[in-house]
Amino acid sequence: MSTFLTDRDVRTTPEGIVWEPSQRWVRGRKGDLTVVDSRRPVLVWEPGQAVPLYAFPREDVRADLLRLAKNPPTGTHSDSQIFYDLEADGVLLENAAWTFPADDLSGHIAFEWFGRSGRGLDHWYEEEEEIFIHPRDPHKRVDALPSSRHVQVEIAGTVVADTHRPVLLFETGLPVRYYIPREDVRLDLFTHTTHASGCPYKGTAEYWSWQGDDDVPPNPAWSYAAPMPAVAAVEGLIAFYNEAVDIVVDGERLERPVTPFNKALFR
């Protein structure tokens, strides 16, 4: 008879690092070169970081491509933490990999993700699906639900969106996002920008900025042209930062939330 765990095997080290084993097959590549290939990765949450990274047993890593870092970071890491430069395809990537100052994770190596920091490995796969920015948190849920609620979006007193057919996106730890059909949005009041962002749960977003002179941060509206399959219902719809605009749902004006996005929006 098989025995199944009913609770996740989450562990915390004395250093405050949280980690848990993963059963996913994970590969990391630099270009066409496979640097990591593991069926026994662990997810690691470093102190002060909201999103996880993968760490891998050393034997699942192309250790022959690693060199002790010539210029390791200073001032924020333990002396027992080792950083490595990665030499791949004739390119040297500084501080692309590191170990953790925790006995529980000795023998494991983590890698920087290009999509997260602009350096490191640039292609990651869970099973046969490519993932972006950072691993998806198994404790986080994202649901996109069609609705018949009446949603209006206002900027400086102007109604810029009005719909009875939104898709509500519920994401753990964030306010509800209201995705609105383009036909119900005054896109003529906005300018499409070159800004883009990536999300491991939703995909790559394009953005629009408000044309008015009001104190509205840039890029308050976005859309996913080709979202991840799990949130396919938001394809092509427009959403707005609740933090930057006024949203009225079924006649009730929502309070503007304070989230991690506020700092980037109003810097």
Q: Per-residue pLDDT tens for 159-180?
A: 999 999 999 999 998 999 999 9
- Report yes or no on 173 lying in a domain: yes
pLDDT at 81: 87
- What are the backbone dihedrals phi and psi of residue 38, each rounded to the nearest 5 degrees, phi first? -140, 140
118 shares a domain with 203: no
118 shares a domain with 160: no
194 token code pair: 């070159």
CATH number at residue 22: 2.170.150.40
pLDDT over threshold 60, residue 1: no
Q: 68-82, 101-115, 183-197, 201-215: which has the minimum mean pLDDT?
A: 68-82
How many whole angstroms separate alpha carbon 179 and alpha carbon 185? 10
Terminal CA-CA length for the chain: 57
pLDDT over threshold 50, residue 155: yes
257 shares a domain with 151: yes
- Report yes or no on 136 lying in a domain: no
The residue with greater pLDDT, 174 or 213, is 174
212 shares a domain with 150: yes
pLDDT at 5: 45
Please state, as a whole number, how many other Cβ atoms lie within 10 Å of the Cβ of residue 63.
Answer: 12
Query: Rounded to two decimals, what is the model's pTM?
Result: 0.83
- Report yes or no on 2 lying in a domain: no
- Report yes or no on 227 lying in a domain: yes
101 shares a domain with 29: yes
86 shares a domain with 159: no
The contacts of residue 7 (CB under 8 Å, 6+ apart) are none
* Structural domain harbouring 233: 142-265
169 shares a domain with 97: no
- Report yes or no on 146 lying in a domain: yes
pLDDT over threshold 60, residue 3: no
Cα 86 from chain centroid?
24
Per the structure, how many domains does the chain have? 2
pLDDT at 249: 98
Domain edge (last residue) among 100, 131, 162: 131
- Report yes or no on 137 lying in a domain: no
